[in-house]
Structure 1
Amino acid sequence: MQSAEDWLVESLRLYQDFHAFDLSGATRVLEWMGDKGVFVAGYELLTKNEILHLILPLRLSVKENQGLFPERDFKVCHGGISDTSVFDLKHVPDTRLLVTSGLPGCYLKVWQIAEDRDVIQATDTIAVHEKEGSLWSRMAVFSSMAPGILHGVRLSGLRIVDLESQKTSYSSGVSDGEELSSLQVLDADTFAFCGTSGRLGIVDIRQKWAPVENLGPNPESGGERWCAEVRDRGQGPGSCIASLASNGQLRLLDPRNLCHPVSSAQCPVSTPSPDPDLLRVTWAPRLDNCLAISGFDGTVQIYDVTSWDGQRSQVKPLFTHRGHIFLDETKMETAPLVTTHTWHPCKPRTLLSAASDASLHVWDWVDLQTAC
C-alpha cells in the first residue's frame, strides 16, 4: 500500500497546484458565486451549523501562475448560522439570495447576503408539502426575471415556487412516489430529474406532466442507488447525461433516447458507496468529455469518456485525487469519505473537494496521458 511519504513525493509530479485547508466542520456543499467565491455549510444534526462565503486565495483567482502571493488561505467574506443541517445550498444567479435544504425537511430556508455587512441572514422559509422524516428536498434554480426554486422529495411533490411571491408556478400533479436523488435546470423551460432507482426524465414545464424518460429502473441495477448530471452543449460536443450507481456503474445516455445507454462502464471503486446521498458525478465545464465522480471513499476520480469502448467494460480513471486519505492518516481511525466536489468554472483542471474530516482541498491535476 502506498505510504503518505511516497504520495507526497509523487504529488510533485501529479499536481500543477495543490492547497489543503481545514474547515470548522465538514460540508456537503460547494456552491460557486462567480469564479472566486464559494459557499460551504455544515450538516450536523441537532446543532447549529455555519454557512460561509469564502473567497479563494489570490493565487487561485488569477488566470496565470504569477509567482508567490501573500494570501494563501481562504478569506471569510460572509457568514451565517443555520439552526438545521444543510445538505444542499443553491445561489440564485445575479442576486444575493441563497436557498438551503436539509433536515428536518419540512421547509426550505431563504437567505440574504448582506451588502454592507459580513452576514448571511435568514429571510424566509418555503414550505415542503412532503413530511418524510429522514428525507430532504432536492433543489435546482430557475434563474429568470422572477427566480423560482424547483424542489421535491419525490416526483409527486415536485413544484416550482416563485422566491418573491411564494406562489407555486408549476407542480407535477402526479401521485408517483419515486424518490429523487438530483434535479437540474437545463434552460428557461426544462429540467431533468434522476430518481434513486436510476429513473431519468426531462420535463417541459410549458405543458402538463409528460416527461421524456426511461422506462424505469435498470433491471440489472440490483437495488443500487443512482445520481446523474446532464452535460449541456457548452460543455462538450453535445448534450449527454452521466448516471452513476452506488456500486460504481456509470452510464452515458443521449437525452433524446433515455431507454438505451450510449455506453456503460464499471469504475474501479474500492467499495460500494457507504452513503449514497454523497454520490456525485460532474461534467468538466472546460474540458471536452471529462467527468469526475466521488462518494465511494476518500478519493475523487476523473475519467475521459472518449476512451470507453463498450457496455459494462472496466475502465481506468485518467486521474485519482487521494489527498484526503494521505494528508489525514494520523487524524482519524478510519479514512475520510469525500462528501462533495466541484470543478472550477474557469480553470480547466482545477477542482475543489471536501471530506468528512472537514478538510477542503483545491487541486489542479496534471494530465499525464494528455488525453483530453
Structure 2
Amino acid sequence: MEAEDEWLLQSLRLYRDLHTFELQAPTRVIEWARGSRVCVAGYGQSGGNEILQLIPPPALQAKEAQGLCPERDFKVECGGFSKRPVYSLKPVPDTSLLVTSGPPDSSLQVWQVSAEDSDVIKSVSTIATENATGQPWAKIATISARAPWVLHGSTLDSVQITELELRKNVYTAGSLCREELAGLAFLDGSTALLCCVRGRLCVADVRQPRGALTALPVPAGDRWCLGTPCAAQGSGTGAQPVARLSSRGLLTLTDLRKASEPLASATARVPSPGSGAEFLCVSWAPALQGCLAVSGFDGTVHVYDTQSWDGSGREAEPIFVHKGHVLGGSGDPALVTVHTWHPQKPRTVLSAASDGSLHVWDWVQP
C-alpha cells in the first residue's frame, strides 16, 4: 500500500480533481451521450454484459475545482443487457439511440434509451450485414446531418452507411480490398475517413451511392489506431490533423489536404512497444490546442503537446502521465482499455482499465 499512499499524496499537488469509480465489469467504451451523460458497457465473453448510462460526479459539471472526491461519485441512471461483448458503442446525435458492435460477427445492435420515467436501455433492432458471420467486429461512427446514420464496417470492402429510421443502405464503399479496419469516422455529412489496421487511410465521398475510396500513403509499423479531432465533426477535411498511433508507439499527424507525407511525427514513451494492440487508443483534446492522449500499452495514460513536433519521429516527452490505474489492484497489473476527453473542460480526461476502475482526472498545469 506504500506506493498507493505515496501516489495519493502526490495527487494533492498533481491533480485539480480526481474521481474514482469501480464498475461491476471492465469497459472498453466511454462515450458522452445526451445531457452530459456517460455510457459504458461490459465486454465479457460469457454474455449478460451491462450497458450503463451514468450521471457524472457533480464536480464535473461545476465551474470551480472540487478537490479529491471519494469513490462511487457516478450514479447509474439507466441500463440494459447485451448478450454479446460490447467492443464499440456510439450514441446517435439528436436521438435517444445507441449503436453497439462486438464479436462474434460484424452485425450491429441498436438500443433505445428509455424516457425519464424508466431506467431501462432496451434493444430495438439488429442490423445484419452481408457475410457478417466470421467477419471481425464492426467499427462504427454515427451522425445526424441529414438523418440518423451509422457508418460501419469490419473490412475495407464491407464499409457502408445505414439510415437507422428506415433501415436503408445509403452508401457502400467501392473497394475490393479486404484489409481489416482499425477505425472510421465522419469528417462531415459528406466525407468519411477510414483507417486500416496497417495504417492506411482512405477518404470516402458518401454522396456517391457506391463511392470509390481515395487511399493515402501507408506509414511503416505494425497495427495502428485512429484519432480524429472533435472539431473535425462537421468541418470537413480542412480541419485539424488526423492522428495515428502504432503498436510500436509511433505517432503520426496527417493533414488530409496534403497527405503525401506526415505533417509531424514522434514516438510515444511507451514501456513495451509492439506487445499488443487490442486497446490502443489515441484522442485529440477538444478544448486544449494541440494536445492528445495515448493509452493501451500499460496502466497509464500519457498526454502530449504536439505543437513542437517535427517529422523526425524522435521520442516525445509527455506533459502529464496518469498512473492511477497501476496502483491499488491485486493480481495482474491493470491495463487501460480506453480513455476520452471531457468535451468542455480542457484538461479533464476519463479513463477505464481492465480491473473495472473508471477514473476522471484533471491535472494541474505546470
Distance 1:83 1:110 in 2: 13
User: TM-score normalised to the size of structure 1?
Assistant: 0.91
Aligned to 1:64: 64
Cα pair distance change 1:325/1:273, threshold 3 Å: farther
User: TM-score normalised to the size of structure 2?
Assistant: 0.93
Cα pair distance change 1:352/1:166, threshold 3 Å: same
Cα pair distance change 1:138/1:93, threshold 3 Å: same
* Contact 2:175/2:213 (<8 A) preserved: no
Aligned to 2:357: 359
Distance 1:232 1:343 in 2: 10
Aligned to 1:350: 348
Q: Name the aligned partner's letter for residue 95 of structure 2.
A: T
Q: Which has the higher mean CA deviation after the structures are superposed, 169-178 or 317-326? A: 169-178
Aligned to 2:142: 141
Aligned to 2:245: 244
Aligned to 2:213: 211
Distance 2:230 2:55 in 1: 27
Cα pair distance change 1:327/1:307, threshold 3 Å: farther
Give 1:176 deviation, angstroms.
1.0
Distance 1:18 1:247 in 2: 30
Q: Name the aligned partner's letter for residue 172 of structure 1.
A: A
Once the two structures are superposed, residues 177-215 of structure 1 have per-residue CA deviations (whole angstroms, 9 ceiling, x without a partner) of 121010111111111111000001221112353333313
* Contact 2:339/2:350 (<8 A) preserved: yes
SS in 2 for 1:111: strand
* Contact 1:114/1:121 (<8 A) preserved: yes
Distance 1:254 1:309 in 2: 13
SS in 1 for 2:46: coil
Cα pair distance change 1:305/1:132, threshold 3 Å: farther
Distance 1:335 1:98 in 2: 32
Distance 1:278 1:336 in 2: 12
* Contact 2:151/2:161 (<8 A) preserved: yes
Aligned to 2:102: 102
Aligned to 1:280: 281
Give 1:64 deviation, angstroms.
2.3
* Contact 2:18/2:68 (<8 A) preserved: no
Identity %: 47
Give 1:135 deviation, angstroms.
1.5
| Residue from 314, 338, 353 that aligns with 2:336 | 338
Aligned to 1:253: 254
Q: Which has the higher mean CA deviation after the structures are superposed, 55-64 or 246-255? A: 55-64
Aligned to 1:268: 269
Distance 1:309 1:275 in 2: 26
Cα pair distance change 1:212/1:246, threshold 3 Å: same
Cα pair distance change 1:58/1:71, threshold 3 Å: farther
Aligned to 2:113: 113
Cα pair distance change 1:33/1:197, threshold 3 Å: same
Q: Name the aligned partner's letter for residue 6 of structure 2.
A: D
Q: Name the aligned partner's letter for residue 76 of structure 1.
A: V
Cα pair distance change 1:273/1:357, threshold 3 Å: farther
Distance 2:70 2:195 in 1: 44
* Contact 2:263/2:310 (<8 A) preserved: no
Count of aligned positions: 360
Q: Which has the higher mean CA deviation after the structures are superposed, 302-311 or 287-296? A: 302-311
* Contact 2:230/2:284 (<8 A) preserved: no
Write the mapping of 1:82-93 to structure 2, written as runs, cut at 5 A: 82-93=82-93
Once the two structures are superposed, residues 260-292 of structure 1 have per-residue CA deviations (whole angstroms, 9 ceiling, x without a partner) of 001111111001254413111100000000000
Q: Which has the higher mean CA deviation after the structures are superposed, 205-214 or 310-319? A: 205-214
Distance 2:69 2:265 in 1: 44
Cα pair distance change 1:64/1:273, threshold 3 Å: farther
Q: What CA RMSD, in Å, does the superposition of the two structures yield over aligned residues?
A: 2.3
Aligned to 2:225: 227
Give 1:94 deviation, angstroms.
1.1
Cα pair distance change 1:284/1:67, threshold 3 Å: closer
Write the mapping of 1:275-314 to structure 2, written as runs, cut at 5 A: 275-314=276-315
Cα pair distance change 1:64/1:134, threshold 3 Å: same
* Contact 2:183/2:225 (<8 A) preserved: yes
Distance 1:189 1:299 in 2: 36
Aligned to 2:185: 184
Distance 1:312 1:21 in 2: 37
* Contact 1:232/1:238 (<8 A) preserved: no
* Contact 1:264/1:311 (<8 A) preserved: yes
Q: Which has the higher mean CA deviation after the structures are superposed, 307-316 or 110-119? A: 307-316
* Contact 1:232/1:240 (<8 A) preserved: no
Cα pair distance change 1:312/1:79, threshold 3 Å: same
Give 1:145 deviation, angstroms.
3.7
Write the mapping of 1:32-43 to structure 2, written as runs, cut at 5 A: 32-34=32-34, 36-43=36-43
Aligned to 2:74: 74
* Contact 2:56/2:74 (<8 A) preserved: yes
Q: Name the aligned partner's letter for residue 227 of structure 2.
A: E
